Amino acid sequence: MAQSLGIPQLRVPPPAAPLSGGLTDRYGRTATDMRLSLIDKCNLRCTYCMPADGMAWLPQRMLMTADEIVRIVRVGVEMLGVEELRLTGGEPLVRKDLEFVIGSIRAACPELPISMTTNAIGLDVRARALRDAGLSRINISLDSIHPETFAALTRRPMLDKVLAGVRAADEAGLGPIKINAVLLRGVNAHEAADLLEWSLEHGYELRFIEHMPLDGDHSWKKEKVITAEEVRALITEKFVLSPDPQERLGSPAERYEVRRPGSNFGSPPLGRVGLISSVTEPFCAACTRTRITAEGRIRSCLFSHEETDLLEIVRDGASDREIAQRWREAMWGKPRAHGSDTVGLSSSDYVQPERTMSAIGG
Ligand code: SAM
Ligand code: SF4
């Protein structure tokens, strides 16, 4: 038998990121869905997202310019297999050159589906121009249709403006419109059925998102989260849900058909609702996201503690190949589950990332 020399075993290094192809990771996933934050600033202060006083905003020079955004998106699409783009923030409408940014992306990537997540403030006067610039469709965040609740939750009395924005988006043809809502116990949870009623009446698809530990106040507690299961109970008097027969594909939302209690399941549904259980049933195994922050850093996961600076090498004159390779390497290290290879959101070892949702680009 060979004698041991007492030398520690060499660790087999993990295989390096591939030098070609798309944004794959060590767990066999491929990211094709790009979330790009245009700005960290916002004109609301939703309690589940931002502190009352706002944040220390990024200085203008640190934000990606329109040209830099286009370059990064084009490399993603042409070299890395990115198939769709969602613009987000902060609040994308706070960016004055938004129409120009979208128009420039559209010119570089004529076939790319471009959507945007927004609070809709100011959309009433910009929806048509955004559609003309090349925006394909829109997701609007709206947690209450009652003015007092809206004001308490967002710390701004601006429900009218948001509703005007939703109407304008609809009229401009930015549908199908999806409405995102976060429910908070004792604040708007009791209004879940009202919000669903309103969304169905207007033909919008409502998605309830579980409150994630990415709030600026760091006051998130697992026990306080209104789970997807609880949402079903909250709306049960007025609505019955049955699984949507259409395939879920890469969507984090579990989709349901909505009917009135007692109605026949063969009858056409009133509409659909999505439940996004990011906390209680994370969708990590099928995640297809790659995220770019407003200052051009790659985050492979919402809950990451690490980022990779892409804008730095863009500004240093990197070639498209170099940009693509840095991106591949960043995504290769994507953690197995929310933020970590070992612990999930429900674990007591879970550590909230420093960045809040608005600073990541949700
Ligand atoms: N300002 C835009 C808006 O509100 O739609 C875009 C950015 S916002 C960060 C994107 C989405 O993240 C919104 O739908 C918002 O409701 C959601 N969000 C923010 N903080 C969250 C949190 N802590 N947990 C779950 N969702 C959150
Ligand atoms: Fe602003 Fe959107 Fe965060 Fe609300 S959720 S504070 S609208 S970034």
Which value, to the nearest 10 degrees, does the dihedral of the CA atoms of residues 329, 333, 337, 342 take?
180
Tens digits of residue pLDDT in 231-255: 999 999 999 999 998 866 667 889 9
Average confidence (pLDDT) over 59-86: 98
Is residue 288 within 8 A of residue 33, CB to CB? The reply is: yes
CA of 46 from ligand 1 middle (Å) equals: 8
Average confidence (pLDDT) over 101-107: 98
**Residue of 116, 117, 141 with the most ligand 2 atoms within 8 Å of its CB, for mutation:** 141
pLDDT at position 274 is 96
Token pair 């990537």 in the structure block, residue: 109
What confidence category does residue 359 fall into, taking pLDDT thresholds of 50, 70 and 90? confident
Name the token pair of 11.
Answer: 């660790």
pLDDT at position 9 is 57
pLDDT at position 134 is 98
Each domain of the chain, given as residue ranges in start order, spans 9-338+350-360
**Residue of 42, 58, 182 with the most ligand 2 atoms within 8 Å of its CB, for mutation:** 42
44 lines ligand 1 (CB under 6 A): no
Evaluate if residue 104 carries a pLDDT over 50.
Answer: yes
Cα(81)–Cα(76) distance, rounded to whole angstroms? 6
**126 contacts: CB under 8 Å, gap ≥ 6:** 93, 98, 99, 168
Name the token pair of 46.
Answer: 């939703």
Q: What is the mean pLDDT of the chain?
A: 91
Which residue's CA is the closest to the ligand 2 atom numbered 8? 90
CA of 357 from ligand 1 middle (Å) equals: 6
Share of the chain above pLDDT 70, in %: 91
Q: Is 9-338+350-360 assigned to CATH 3.20.20.70?
A: yes
162 lines ligand 2 (CB under 6 A): no
What phi, psi does 217 have (nearest 5°)?
A: -85, -10
Q: Which residue has the higher pLDDT, 344 or 292?
A: 292
pLDDT at position 221 is 83
CA of 216 from ligand 1 middle (Å) equals: 12
Tens digits of residue pLDDT in 178-231: 999 999 999 999 999 999 999 999 999 999 999 998 877 788 888 888 999 999
Name the token pair of 309.
Answer: 């600076």
pLDDT at position 322 is 97
Q: Which ligand is nearest to the CA of 153?
A: 2
pLDDT at position 3 is 41
DSSP 84-103: EEEEESS-GGG-TTHHHHHH
42 lines ligand 2 (CB under 6 A): yes
CA of 200 from ligand 1 middle (Å) equals: 21
Average confidence (pLDDT) over 243-271: 87
49 lines ligand 2 (CB under 6 A): yes
Strands (E), 146-251: 178-182, 205-209, 240-243
Is residue 131 within 8 A of residue 174, CB to CB? The reply is: yes
Share of the chain above pLDDT 90, in %: 75
Average confidence (pLDDT) over 74-91: 98
**170 contacts: CB under 8 Å, gap ≥ 6:** 177, 202
215 lines ligand 1 (CB under 6 A): yes
pLDDT at position 340 is 56
Tens digits of residue pLDDT in 5-62: 455 555 555 568 999 999 999 999 999 999 999 999 999 999 999 999 999 999 999 9
37 lines ligand 2 (CB under 6 A): no
Cα(193)–Cα(205) distance, rounded to whole angstroms? 13
